[in-house]
Structure 1
Amino acid sequence: MVELNRIELHTIGKLITPHKTIENIPVQAVGGREFTGIAELVPELAVGLESLDGFSHMIVLFHLHKITGYSLTVKPFMDTKLHGIFATRSPRRPSAIGMSTVKIIKVEANRVYFEGADMLDGSPLIDIKPFFAKVDNVPGTISGWLESKDNDVAEKTRSDDRFA
């Protein structure tokens, strides 16, 4: 593996979800609507959640802490062909960062309750950003190899042991 430059990130809390093992987790938040989770910030950061309850959705960035190593080409969960890692959202990445857009249920103290949990319980929380519909929805986008898949492939697909 190539030696990559390192940076220092600070986690802001952890994610609490019903997913205790990597297998059978929804591979995208849209497929995990029935699963709720909690983004629990360290108490000293709770004031940073002020006004988040006015948004319907948030983007959650987290560390894929159970993933080791990486592959530059992978067979993603939603396809049977190899693709470059940066053309997928597969978890075995040079920087093991996960990203999910989830629906906010409520904000209480240092906790944000959300719908769409597609991450492992205990995942270190890196950041929360509000979803801005006017700038995060980009009209006319093209989704590469995913365009040839059924519209609901992300909703139906579950993880297996290929990245464990």
Structure 2
Amino acid sequence: MTEIVFNPIGTVHSPFQDPRDMPIQPIGARGVRGRIELDPAYTAGLKDLEGFSRVILLYHLHRSKGYALEVVPFLDKTPHGIFATRAPRRPNAIGLSVLKLVRVDGATLTVEDVDILDGTPVIDIKPYVPAFDAYPDERAGWLAATCETARTMRSDDRFC
């Protein structure tokens, strides 16, 4: 396969310095505020973003080393295939979070519901569009029984 190279467009700033004891999903980080500092070269790309209430943030899980094809995720005690989880130890260490957009100020986005480590490199930002991105009646697989516990679950050192 051909190698794919991404260059970060910015950095996430959050209160989380250590992956242990941080929220495992944005739902468990309600109200946690952070900033996305973009490289000033990308500022023009933020035009009209302030009209959206949420953004989809794609980022590099830069502290994740290696990967496993089967993992025991935070919300279960049973091993699952990595692609049936959101665990960070992945073949391509790409994270995704849907964050509340509070403000756009130059090359800085103020966001809430941040479940991301401080210093995380940003790969891309996309607007969240409910008509395109929300499918509330779809199946959640093995997570259906444990989704609600994501509000209070915190990470541990299993993926460090």
- Which TM-score band applies after superposition, normalised by the shorter structure? over 0.9
Alignment partner of 2:27 out of 27, 30, 49: 30
- Aligned amino acid, residue 153 of structure 2: T
**Same amino acid, percent of matched pairs:** 44
Unaligned runs of 5+ in 2: none
Residue 148 of structure 1, CA deviation: 1.5
- Alignment: residue pair count: 160
In the alignment, what sits opposite 2:41?
44
For 2:16 and 2:32, the matched residues in 1 are separated by 9
The alpha-carbon distance between structure 1 residues 5 and 93, as it changes in their structure 2 partners (threshold 3 A), is: farther
In the alignment, what sits opposite 1:55?
52
Partner secondary structure for residue 154 of structure 1: helix
For 2:21 and 2:50, the matched residues in 1 are separated by 30
- The two structures have a TM-score, normalised by structure 1, of 0.94
Residue 139 of structure 1, CA deviation: 4.3
- Aligned amino acid, residue 111 of structure 1: T
In the alignment, what sits opposite 1:158?
154
Residue 34 of structure 1, CA deviation: 2.9
Residue 5 of structure 1, CA deviation: 4.7
Partner secondary structure for residue 163 of structure 1: coil
- Aligned amino acid, residue 143 of structure 1: A
Residue 35 of structure 1, CA deviation: 1.3
* 1:65-95 Cα deviation digits (max 9, x unpaired): 0110000000001111100000000000000
Correspondence 1:70 to 2:67: yes
- Aligned amino acid, residue 73 of structure 2: P
The alpha-carbon distance between structure 1 residues 5 and 80, as it changes in their structure 2 partners (threshold 3 A), is: farther
> Aligned-pair RMSD on alpha carbons?
1.1
Unaligned runs of 5+ in 1: none
Equivalent runs, 1:1-150 vs 2, <5 Å: 5-149=2-146
For 2:19 and 2:90, the matched residues in 1 are separated by 15
